[in-house]
Structure 1
Amino acid sequence: MSDPDISVVICVYTEDRWEDILAAVSSVRAQSRPALETLLVVDHNAPLLDRLAKEYKESAQVRVLANAGPRGLSAGRNTGIAAARGDVLAFLDDDAVAERDWLRHFAEGYTDPRVMAVGGRTVPIWASGRRPHWFPEEFDWVVGCTYKGLPPGRVQVRNVLGGNASFRRSAFDVAGGFATGIGRDGDKRPLGCEETELCIRLTRARPEAILLIDDRAVIHHRVPETREHFGYFRTRAYAEGLSKALVARSVGTDKGLESERRYATRVLPAGVARGLRDAALARPGGAGRAGAIVAGVLTAAGGYVVGTLRTRRGAPAFSVAEIEEGGA
């Protein structure tokens, strides 16, 4: 498949992101390598569905669909998968814009028939105009962005990151769709890892499959002011621990935590050391970054322990109230 047709799926859920949604679609329309179509999947929000349908009623390239499954990002993506016509499906967050060559770099990855998924690099756009001094780059996954510790270039990985990723259609034929109950449900549950679970299932079903990240396939992701605070950082880290427990239950701890072991034993200690060195040199935020890394690790570990114990008892891994309080 040297020149695959690519369908772009953007899952949306709130009118609060109206301008962001329009910007995301515009960035797809401006691609140097055109998309076959753009699918906007609306998550159980009838007014938003109607408004988008009117906005794009004259467009042959943009289709507006209602999420056909339960509320949440995974079911929305599965709705897009079922409706898309492309050989490759690319996923873009509703509060992100893609650089002009985003799809071109994705398409280049599929010249090798063994490649089943290609992800890209996600750069934060901070609402305050700059990264908070205390916020470590090693934890940029907290705000849905590429984090320090991922290798540069085009490299083989265990899993792509869902807000900036593409898959061959045949990947879903082999592995099925995204698992519901793991990923996000609007803003209520800041969970994740649904793409991790899918990628592990995919490589188990097709051991020869290659999954890539190409850091030239860049999108810019908006980080709202509410996510620039330590309270959200802590909440999201705890939710990540719960999510990892669900993934480990689904695919086993060996694969479910394979990348996380390297991250925890190599990337994060190096980040703490850099933060302490910066503090010793009186550079802004050094001590805060070191402290945030330690706090993030402990909070995520606590979420993982709680989620593991609950799933072993057959209880839900989380409650909405608990996640909203960050595990307190």
Structure 2
Amino acid sequence: MLVSIVIPTKQRPQPLADAVQSVFRSRYQHFEIFVVDQSPDDANAKVLAPFRNDPRFHYLLNRRPGFGAASSRNLGIAASRGEIIALIDDDVEVKPDWLEQIVAEFSADPELDFIAGRLTAPPYDPATGFTPAFEAWPYLSRWHFPLHASGANFSMRRRLFDRIGGYDEFCGPGSRLRASDDTDLCWRVVRSGARYKVCPHIEVVHTHGFRPQAEAEALFARYQYGNGGNFGRFTRRGDLFAGAWFLAREVKHALRAIPAALRGDRRELFYVGQRLHGFWDGFRLPPHEGFVSGEQLRRLSANARAAEVPLMAWSHGTSV
């Protein structure tokens, strides 16, 4: 079973090199890997040079202004050929049995379409900052699963995209809605009725994920805004249940947050405001612009192949 690994990246040369190297150390070796780079310079390309002679390694450039990681994920998916597609971030390292466990799960259940794996954090001092993690609790309800699952460790069958479409390019880091392309994808998986599984034994480590306190707080605020934006998008595209569920949840959170705000702790009320702000902004966006259907993803294949750049040429300054 060929597994296609897609890694979107921007200006993180050493974390990216560690991520790619960890994939090549996997016990399961029947894979191809696509790094999709949005960097304005060639620092990433230079650190990836040791991999350029391996035919399984592919390096693509994505220079679409105003689009972020979701656009790069779609480009990598379209360029790939594997029956299984695995997505990780550029600041994680995969465990040696990561691919092996993914293949085992999909092989054991022909109806399984999507896996959310575990994202663990190395030891750090919580008083100084935060490293995002997802413990991959199998007992998460289907409605809370999209809000918690981490896009740093997703895998899916290619056929899933015919059912739900690709990544919404208005969601996620670097996009109009700033974050939460993982929430967008997981909600559509749940609503489609596709079979999914939360697997704590399929693990990646957030090796370079630590954020100092101020950066961590800004990141968490972006998560809240992005999650709200997702549900605004769902509602505008006709999923009225998504809007009703989200707004009812926010009323509950607001009622809990107001007493705390009166006592001086306004943090949760601030997050409610961020989510509602995101919801309104997501609702106002053109409902289908930015959303990539399964058919569009297939049509993107030719452009995706054209985006591949020989690392040697790029490191020598060839314009693209």
TM-score (normalised: structure 2) = 0.71
Q: What are the equivalent positions in structure 2 for 1:71-90 lying under 5 Å apart?
A: 71-90=67-86
Q: 1:107 to 1:132 in 2, by over 3 A?
A: same
Separation in structure 2 between the aligned mates of residue 12 and residue 210 of structure 1, nearest angstrom: 29
Q: Deviations over 1:89-136 (max 9, x none)?
A: 1111111111111112222221222211112111123xxx5232487x
Pick which of 85-94 and 241-250 moved more. 241-250
Q: SS of the counterpart of 1:85?
A: coil
1:42 alignment partner in structure 2: 37
| C-alpha displacement of 1:55 | 3.6
| C-alpha displacement of 1:13 | 0.9
Q: Deviations over 1:224-254 (max 9, x none)?
A: 66x231x223322322222122111122474
Equivalent pairs: percent with the same residue? 22
Separation in structure 2 between the aligned mates of residue 164 and residue 256 of structure 1, nearest angstrom: 27
Q: 1:55 to 1:33 in 2, by over 3 A?
A: closer
Separation in structure 2 between the aligned mates of residue 260 and residue 33 of structure 1, nearest angstrom: 44
Could you tell me which runs of 5 or more consecutive residues in structure 2 were left unpaired when the two chains were aligned. 257-262, 287-320
Q: What are the equivalent positions in structure 2 for 1:33-182 lying under 5 Å apart?
A: 33-48=28-43, 50-51=45-46, 54-67=49-62, 69-70=64-65, 71-110=67-106, 111-125=108-122, 130-133=124-127, 143-146=131-134, 151-152=137-138, 158-159=145-146, 160-182=149-171
Q: SS of the counterpart of 1:244?
A: helix
CA RMSD of aligned residues (A): 3.5
1:193 alignment partner in structure 2: 180
TM-score (normalised: structure 1) = 0.69
| C-alpha displacement of 1:60 | 1.3
Q: 1:42 to 1:54 in 2, by over 3 A?
A: same
Q: SS of the counterpart of 1:232?
A: helix
Q: 1:222 to 1:131 in 2, by over 3 A?
A: same
Pick the aligned partner of 1:7 from 4, 8, 11: 4
Pick the aligned partner of 2:275 from 301, 304, 309: 304
Contact conserved, 1:238 with 1:301, CA < 8 A, in 2? no
Contact conserved, 1:244 with 1:256, CA < 8 A, in 2? no
Pick the aligned partner of 2:189 from 175, 195, 202: 202
Separation in structure 2 between the aligned mates of residue 144 and residue 172 of structure 1, nearest angstrom: 27
Contact conserved, 2:27 with 2:100, CA < 8 A, in 1? yes
| C-alpha displacement of 1:155 | 9.2
Q: Which amino acid aligns with 1:183?
A: G
Number of aligned residue pairs: give it: 268
Contact conserved, 1:12 with 1:21, CA < 8 A, in 2? yes
Pick which of 50-59 and 78-87 moved more. 50-59
Question: Which gives a bigger RCO, structure 1 or 2 (Cα 8 Å, sep 6+)?
Answer: 2
Could you tell me which runs of 5 or more consecutive residues in structure 1 were left unpaired when the two chains were aligned. 270-290, 316-328
Q: Which amino acid aligns with 1:104?
A: E
2:200 alignment partner in structure 1: 215
Q: What are the equivalent positions in structure 2 for 1:258-277 lying under 5 Å apart?
A: none
Q: Which amino acid aligns with 2:40?
A: N
Contact conserved, 1:116 with 1:168, CA < 8 A, in 2? yes
Work out whether 1:228 is the aligned partner of 2:218: no
Q: Deviations over 1:189-232 (max 9, x none)?
A: 8932212212322343x42x11111111111113566x231x22
Separation in structure 1 between the aligned mates of residue 94 and residue 251 of structure 2, nearest angstrom: 30
